[in-house]
């Protein structure tokens, strides 16, 4: 069977972006600094190491890592984003052949972040008593700060970050999950005029500041890609595109045949393994493992991030065992989120590109633009690509 699996380890960057300083991120390195935080323990990632993760890390950061790593038995490269973003949609869209050269609107003011006209429209169309927040914030702290007032007044918590995003946090029970989703749909319509990349519903539960916690019922309402990606070219060719986790949200449902969701990296791994049994000849399975980013990167928790990487690595042999000999696996990331960095935002980094197939000889391919991933998958599956990216298949020999 000739199928493709594209797995995004959300935010697993490897430093070295040449334009990191322009984003305030010079010196950031998600995997490298997690290794530093672990100290003598290192990172037990034998399967990612065999795919070439540490060779990519060393090539990207130009730093010699102490851990002696085995020679990869797969193809590795360093992915460099050419578009002007470091958020989830821009990274994913470029991976699938659409660099974002004109970034969406960001709200730069740390306080009173949103235009008054935008908030007035949201309050009016959402029939709200008002809003709380209106600033840059991180999800859990802002819920603890304003959650009790939100429950008392019925005013949702509206906040942003360095990304092009408007986030709305509300209590699942006192405000209601359906009302939160409806409000986010209203915000999506309003924010189309401002070119805001994502509206994110951030539901939480609890009774007071000390026990508030976010639930797994997050939903992203994303601006659609402005041009076709390889997901569009695949579905136009009648191919199956199975979207796991939040992939469908990232593409506003475009180019998706089927969506499956769950909460947590390990349940998503289970779901991905099951879906692989149903992936048709010539199809693509596309999964995003978001917990690295949301639970550990933004939370600035390097040790928790390290454990999550090791848990993911332990499951990879199950995925390898389910792959047919002619399947193509690409494991990559969409941006960085260095858990040792200042602030709570994403970091502009290069990412690993790890390619495994029993049909291809392993190789090290140096630095490649993100869009080469989409071009390679399209080439492998025999469907049209986009105007961006170059397939690496001509650089790889076929196994005899």
- How much is the pLDDT for 162? 84
CATH of 116-222, one of 3.40.50.300, 3.30.1360.20, 3.30.300.130, 3.30.70.1250: 3.30.70.1250
pTM for the full model?
0.87
Identify whether the C-beta of residue 201 lies closer than 8 Å to the C-beta of residue 218. yes
Give the total residue count for the chain. 400
| Parallel, antiparallel or unpaired: strands 157-160 and 165-171 | antiparallel
pLDDT per residue as tens, the chain (400 positions): 699 999 999 999 999 999 999 999 999 999 999 999 998 788 999 999 999 999 999 999 877 664 556 667 899 999 999 998 898 999 999 999 999 988 888 999 999 999 999 999 999 999 999 999 999 998 889 999 999 999 999 999 999 998 899 999 999 999 999 999 999 999 999 999 999 999 999 999 999 999 999 998 999 998 999 999 999 999 999 999 999 999 999 999 999 999 999 989 999 999 999 999 999 999 999 999 999 999 999 999 999 999 999 999 999 999 999 999 999 999 999 999 999 999 989 999 999 999 999 999 899 999 999 999 999 999 999 999 999 999 999 998 766 5
Give domain limits for the chain.
4-103+224-395, 116-222
**Cα-to-chain-centroid distance, residue 279:** 22
- The pair of structure tokens assigned to 85 is 């973003």
336: region left, alpha or beta (phi > 0 left; psi from -120 to 50 alpha):
beta
Backbone angles phi, psi at 170, to 5 degrees: -155, 155
Domain boundaries 4-103+224-395, corresponding CATH code:
3.40.720.10
| Continuous H helices in 277-340 | 291, 302-322
- How much is the pLDDT for 65? 60
Spatial distance between the Cα atoms of 13 and 32, rounded to a whole number of angstroms? 9
- How much is the pLDDT for 68? 53
Spatial distance between the Cα atoms of 172 and 243, rounded to a whole number of angstroms? 26
Neighbours of 54 (CB within 10 A): 24
Identify whether the C-beta of residue 308 lies closer than 8 Å to the C-beta of residue 289. no
Name the nearest CA neighbour of 294 among 58, 59, 11. 11
Backbone angles phi, psi at 379, to 5 degrees: -60, -45
- How much is the pLDDT for 42? 85
Spatial distance between the Cα atoms of 387 and 367, rounded to a whole number of angstroms? 19
Identify whether the C-beta of residue 386 lies closer than 8 Å to the C-beta of residue 372. no
- How much is the pLDDT for 286? 98
- How much is the pLDDT for 40? 78
Spatial distance between the Cα atoms of 68 and 49, rounded to a whole number of angstroms? 10
Contacts with 184 (C-beta within 8 Å, 6 or more apart), sequence order: 168, 199, 200, 201, 219, 221
- The pair of structure tokens assigned to 64 is 């010699």
Neighbours of 310 (CB within 10 A): 15
- How much is the pLDDT for 255? 97
Name the nearest CA neighbour of 78 among 97, 54, 101, 103. 54
- How much is the pLDDT for 62? 76
- How much is the pLDDT for 396? 87
- How much is the pLDDT for 71? 66
């Amino acid at each position: 069977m000739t199928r493709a699996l594209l797995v995004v380890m959300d935010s697993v960057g490897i430093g070295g972006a040449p334009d990191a300083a322009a984003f305030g991120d010079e010196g950031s390195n998600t995997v490298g600094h997690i290794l530093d935080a672990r100290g003598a323990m290192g990172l037990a990632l034998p399967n990612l190491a065999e795919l070439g993760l540490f060779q990519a890390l060393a090539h990207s950061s130009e730093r010699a890592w102490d851990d002696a790593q085995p020679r990869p038995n797969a193809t590795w490269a360093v992915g460099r984003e050419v578009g002007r973003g470091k958020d989830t949609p821009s990274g994913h869209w470029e991976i699938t052949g659409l660099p974002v050269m004109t970034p969406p609107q960001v709200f730069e003011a740390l306080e009173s972040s949103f235009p008054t006209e935008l908030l007035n429209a949201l309050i009016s169309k959402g029939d709200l008593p008002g809003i709380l927040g209106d600033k840059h914030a991180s999800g859990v702290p802002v819920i603890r700060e304003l959650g009790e007032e939100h429950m008392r007044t019925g005013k949702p918590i509206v906040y942003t970050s360095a990304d092009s995003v408007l986030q709305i946090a509300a209590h699942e029970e006192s405000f209601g999950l359906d009302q939160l989703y409806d409000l986010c749909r209203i915000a999506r319509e309003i924010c189309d005029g401002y070119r805001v990349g994502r509206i994110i519903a951030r539901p939480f539960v609890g009774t007071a500041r000390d026990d508030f916690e976010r639930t797994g019922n997050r939903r992203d309402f994303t601006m659609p890609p402005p041009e076709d990606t390889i997901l569009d070219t695949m579905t136009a060719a009648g191919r199956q595109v199975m979207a796991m986790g939040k992939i469908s949200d990232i593409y506003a449902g475009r180019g998706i045949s089927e969506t499956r969701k769950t909460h947590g990296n390990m349940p998503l791994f289970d779901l991905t393994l099951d879906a692989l049994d149903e992936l048709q000849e010539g199809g693509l399975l596309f999964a995003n493992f978001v917990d690295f980013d949301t639970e550990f990167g933004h939370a600035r928790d390097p040790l928790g991030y390290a454990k999550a990487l090791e848990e993911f690595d332990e499951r990879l042999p199950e995925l390898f065992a389910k792959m047919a000999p002619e399947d193509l696996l690409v494991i990559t990331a969409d941006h960085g989120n260095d858990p040792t960095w200042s602030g709570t935002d994403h970091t502009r980094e290069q990412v690993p590109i790890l390619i495994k197939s029993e049909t291809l000889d392993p190789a090290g391919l140096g630095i490649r633009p993100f869009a080469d991933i989409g071009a390679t998958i399209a080439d492998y599956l025999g469907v049209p690509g986009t105007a961006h990216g170059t397939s690496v298949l001509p650089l790889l020999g076929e196994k005899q």
